[in-house]
Each structure stands twice: as structure tokens, then as C-alpha cells.
Amino acid sequence: MTVLTLGLNHTTAAVDLRGRFAFAVDQLAPALKTLHAQLRGGAQSEAALLSTCNRTELYIATG
């Protein structure tokens, strides 16, 4: 199993950069569906996306 994490927050990125990576509530489900479709390469995969005013984090597990 491979676990990947990618994120930015108020200590690692300026507010303008965080704003470009922020997801509105109505964008989360479509973004995860698109990501999950791209991850399907015959392997099991899971993904979680966390987006608040101060951080955006993506967690992916494959394998």
C-alpha cells in the first residue's frame, strides 16, 4: 500500500496561494470523483480532501 499526502497551510503558503487551492463545499464531491476516476488503474484506491480557510490537504491511499 502507498499512502500519499499533500497539503499547504497558513505556515507554509501565503494567503493568495491558499486561496487558489481552496475548495468550496460544492466543489469537494466533484473533485474527489474526478480524482478517484484518475486513480483507478486496476488498484484499490481511496482519497480524502480537507479544505478550510487556513489549509488544504489531500490524502491518497493506493494498493
The residues carrying an active-site annotation are: 53
Query: Count of residues for the chain?
Result: 63
First to last CA, the chain: 4
Order of strands across the sheet that contains 45-51? 2-9, 55-62, 45-51
